[in-house]
Structure formats: C-alpha cells, structure tokens
Amino acid sequence: SADRYKDPSQPLNTRIDDLLGRMTLAEKIGQMSQIEREKATPDVINKYFIGSVLSGGGSVPEKNAPPEAWVGMVNGMQSGALSTRLGIPMLYGIDAVHGHGNVYKATIFPHNVGLGCTRDPELAKRIGAAVALEVRATGIPYIFAPCVAVCRDPRWGRCYESFSEHPELVQNMTSIISGFQGEIPAGGTLGVPFMAGQRNVAACSKHYVGDGGTTNGINENNTVATFHELLSIHMPPYYNAVIRGVSTVMISYSSWNGLKMHANRFLITDFLKKELRFRGFVISDWQGLDRITTPEHADYILSIKLGILAGIDMVMIPFNYTEFIDGLTLLVNNGTIPMSRIDDAVRRILRVKFTMGLFENPYADPSLTGELGKQEHRDLAREAVRKSLVLLKNGKPGDKPLLPLPKKAYGGILVAGSHANDLGSQCGGWTITWQGLTGNNLTAGTTILDGIKRAVVPGTDVVYSENPDAGFIQQNKARFDYAIVVVGEPPYAETFGDNLNLTIPAPGPAIIQNVCGSIKCVVVIVSGRPLVLEPYINTMNALVAAWLPGTEGQGVADVLFGDYGFTGKLSRTWFRSVNQLPMNVGDARYDPLFPFGFGLETQPS
C-alpha cells in the first residue's frame, strides 16, 4: 500500500500506527535518541536513524553565525534523516529561553523573573510568537522553553529562569506557550500537542518537577516536600502547559524526597502521562540518565533501564550515542524493557512530529531569515523591559519623589557602576554562550547608558564613570543634578549561579555608598534575583529592580525619565537577610524588605 504515514490527509493515529508498524527496533531507538550538533553529521544521523539533534548552550555552526549558516547546518542534517529507509524527519532543538539566546544579533528579551513582574500574560504570548519567528529564521522548529520552575529560594542559580515563587503567577505566564506554538483555536482539542503552523515552534515545559524547590536552592539537588506540597507549589504550571497543548516536557535533574526525577516512574508515567493525560513526549535533560547514579555514569545500563522504564521517551544523550543505542537495544532484547514501552515513546515522538507538520515541512523556510533581530521584536522587548522594572523606593522619607528624572539637567548627570555600560551583563546567562558574557561586543543591543544618553535633552552633560573615586565625587558633587548608579550580578547559568550570600558583588556596594553619600541618586540593580540591599537602602534616594533586561536597554531609560510610568510588581519576595531563606509569600513567618507584589507607580511625565 502507498505509505499512508506520508499522506497528511490521513488521520493522525492512522499515520502513527502505519509508520510504527513498519519500524525496526533500531529505527525506533533512533527516534528516541537526541545527539549534540557537534556529533550530528548527516552520515551519523542516517546510519543510526537519529530522531533529534540539539544545540547545547553556546553550540553554534560558527562564531557570530548568520541565520543562513544555521539554516544550512540544520538542512544538511535533515537531508541525512530524510535519506533513511522510512524518511522520518529529525527534530532540531535549542534553548530559546529569553529570545534566541545562542544566536548572534537575535532579540534578547528580559529573563523570566522580569517577565513575571509585568503581570502581563498577553505580553508573554506576544513575546512567544516573536521568539518563534526568530527561531524559525534559523531553520529550527523546537525549543527547550518555557522553564516553568517555581523558584522558592533565590540562592538557586536558575532563579531568573523562573517566572515567580508563586505558582499561580507561573501558571498565568504559561501563556508564552501559546505564543511559541500558537493558540489552540475555539473548538480545537485542548490538552494534546498543538502547533498552529510553520511560523511557530514546538515548546518544552521544564524541568519536571520541583526543580525550583531544592534544599537551599542547590542546583540539581533534592526537593523535600509532601505530595500535597509538590502538587500545590510545583505541579500547577504543568496543568496549564498540558491544557495549552505543550508538545514536550523535560525532566528535572533534581530529586523528590531522595528519588531522582529521571527515575521517577510514578511522577512521569502514572501522574504526568496517565493522571494529567499528557500526550506529547517526555525528554531527559542533558546526560540526565547518567546523573541518575552517583557518581554519574557509574552504571549506564542501569541508568537507561531506570530512565526508560520511568517513562522518558527521548534521551538528550548527547554524545555517547552508540553506548545509549547499544544499551537500550540490549535491554529490549533481554526483556528488561518491554517493546510496549518503546512503542509508547516512539508513538509520542511521532505524534509531535506529525502534529507540527515536520513530515510536510522538514526543511527551513528561507523567507524567514529576516525575522532575526527584527526592529519590531526589539520594540516588543523594549516594552517588556519597561513593564518588568520594579520601583522599590522613590525619594527619602519627607523628600519629594526623585523619579521620573528630569531630562534636562543643568549641571549634568553622573552615571556610575559597571552594569550601566555592559550589554552582556544586562542579558545574563544563556546569551551567546551558556554562561553569558560581559562587555559590549557579544551581540547587537543598547546598553542602559546608551538609553540614558538618548533620553536626555541634547547638550545635557552625561558623565559616565564606572567606579568614580572619592576625590572625583568630592570635586564634582555640587555639579551634578543627580546620579544614576547601575550595579548588579555578573552573568551565570545553572550551578555556577548558586550563591549562599547574595551580596551585591564588589565594587557595587562601595559605588553606592560613595556616590549616593554625596549626590542625589537612583540605584538600578541588574540581577537575576533579589540581593542584599538593606545596609545601603537609606543612602539611596531611589531604587529600581531591573532584573536581566536583555538587549533593549533603552527600556530602562523609558521609565527612568518618564516616557512611561513604572507599573512592575515584584514576582518574588525581596528578603532582608539570607538568614531568612527560604521565605515566600504565604509563609507564616514573613518579614521581607519588600513583599511579593510590591511596586511603586509613577505617571508618564
């Protein structure tokens, strides 16, 4: 019979059943294998029937690769997949967690901690749609986003990837999935994988489950919680993600009450697949199987057995693919893993690939390359920056408000602090490289200082000094109308961001004390999370949390100078001292410097 699986007019399950029925074990296991692009030559993809390829953080075809280079790379790999006996297209995945972060000149949006402060699910959806277009500009149809972690301790290095400590706010921001994948139309079926068309991407809600609840925020560690606490704090965003038709779910490195999530059959199969009726595919994290054992990779056969039997469908291997393929083949052939488990995994993978139209559209749409870094997307990102900033203080007690700042400053304006003129630091981790970069050469964007200079009336003297010394300040303190001090955290990702003291890195505190001690100042904090502020807050006239705004630094000036009012509200509790942590809204003992939901407002001037 003609290959019915190739006929898009056939019902979805007919296509899946027809194709599955034709597949050898090797072809099935190939579909469950995701490898890193460094290993993914067309020949390897063809020979091992590889179903998916990824770019790890910073893994690019060449430095500053243009969209065309990405398209060429992905299409080359795809040709390897389509030349196999059954011609099942491969699925290329990448972390587009605040815009297409790995790609030179992509629009970088505020990280999720800032988006949570906008309280604007519609904005998040618009951002998702824009990110989907920038990802498609590079020929990629699948992203490992959104992270729907409910970060309960800001000492966690990934707290900025979480929309909020409050599960309901995270649930509301899952609207970004409907931006990435498109909105399920009225009359459409909720709760099954959905993708509207070829200007959308398949999404991945991560990391299932409880990644944001580990002890002391230690990355990949243990989340101690009753089942009720897990369901009420960490699980809610997955209900919304599944209903919105999220195509995939990624498993967390962390453990729940001492059991590795990657080996948790109850939560992956019995709860996510059966109770929540998730119909897409479950993907491991990078070497997630290896890390089931301590030390990691100590018994890879055991890892494969536990992970696959738990219900993982696709494995982000990502390098030792022959070891994985051989190991899984052995476990099926010796009856340890039943063919029914393999068929469930492949069925889910094929459902996503058929649903997203990958069989009909395996190659990139070259007409979309112009979507990367498009001004319209940058304007959207700038709007998101404006709405994400939170005004925490505006004038000392008894003083009149300092913000909005006057655009005319007769004596001039002093701008100080490393983060005023550092595009990389304002973007944070997952930007160009995995850990992110400092400096201004990493990609295209505008720094906070650029924005300030463009906002003030022409001729206004804007003096930038990264770390002005006491002498300079004494000589000039009568000169400047006011100062803007921008300090914060360096870029980081994952474990590198774990931090138990959460102090503003030096010389930030000294700059605050030196400048604000002599000149009226507004302090802008560029960070992935709340930091220790209490010792300095009285010297500041005004204080703004800017989070990790991304490439559109002008959005900061837009609200500082009153083109737009401040509207942002804290998505996280701002603690007084790390000794209080973890401390979240709703806790019996709750004594924050600024509570969840706090944010002063200003009117546009």
Ligand X SMILES: OC[C@@H]1[C@@H](O)[C@H](O)[C@@H](O)c2nc(-c3ccccc3)cn21
**Binding residues vs ligand X (CB under 6 A):** 56-57, 95, 144, 206, 285-286, 494
Q: Rounded CA gap, 499 and 581, in Å?
A: 12
Q: How far is the CB of 98 from ligand X (least distance, A)?
A: 12
255-256 vs 222-223, strand pairing mode:
parallel
Cis check: omega of the bond before 404, within 30 degrees of 0: yes
- What secondary structure letter does DSSP report for 253? S
Q: Rounded CA gap, 204 and 145, in Å?
A: 5
Please identify, using beta-carbon distances, which residue of 219 and 499 lies nearer to ligand X.
Answer: 219
Residue with CB nearest ligand X? 286
Please identify, using beta-carbon distances, which residue of 144 and 566 lies nearer to ligand X.
Answer: 144
Catalytic status, residue 489: no
438-to-152, 212, 433, 446 alpha-carbon distances in Å: 28, 26, 11, 14
Spot the catalytic one: 134, 285, 371, 552: 285
CB atoms within 10 A of CB 376: 11
Q: How far is the CB of 401 from ligand X (least distance, A)?
A: 41
Please identify, using beta-carbon distances, which residue of 261 and 448 lies nearer to ligand X.
Answer: 261
Residue 435 backbone dihedrals phi, psi, to 5 degrees: -85, -10
Please identify, using beta-carbon distances, which residue of 417 and 528 lies nearer to ligand X.
Answer: 528
Query: Which residues contact residue 60 at a Cβ distance below 8 angstroms, ignoring those fewer than 6 apart?
Result: 70, 102, 103, 104
Please identify, using beta-carbon distances, which residue of 319 and 410 lies nearer to ligand X.
Answer: 319
Q: Rounded CA gap, 250 and 208, in Å?
A: 6
Please identify, using beta-carbon distances, which residue of 97 and 560 lies nearer to ligand X.
Answer: 97
Q: How far is the CB of 414 from ligand X (least distance, A)?
A: 40
Q: Rounded CA gap, 488 and 508, in Å?
A: 7
Please identify, using beta-carbon distances, which residue of 118 and 162 lies nearer to ligand X.
Answer: 162
CB 380 within 8 A of CB 127: yes
CB 373 within 8 A of CB 105: yes
Q: How far is the CB of 95 from ligand X (least distance, A)?
A: 5
Q: How far is the CB of 56 from ligand X (least distance, A)?
A: 5
Structure tokens at 551: 């490439």
Q: Rounded CA gap, 194 and 176, in Å?
A: 14
Beta bridge partners of 54: 36, 93
Query: Which residues contact residue 24 at a Cβ distance below 8 angstroms, ignoring those fewer than 6 apart?
Result: none
Q: Which H or E element spans position 222?
A: strand 222-223
Cis check: omega of the bond before 318, within 30 degrees of 0: yes
Buried/exposed code over 226-258 (b: 16+ C-beta within 10 A; e: otherwise): eeeebeebbbbbbebbbebbbbbbbbbbbbbee
Catalytic status, residue 360: no
Please identify, using beta-carbon distances, which residue of 202 and 389 lies nearer to ligand X.
Answer: 202
Q: Rounded CA gap, 520 and 481, in Å?
A: 7
Spot the catalytic one: 371, 494, 498, 558: 494
Q: Which residues are catalytic?
A: 285, 494
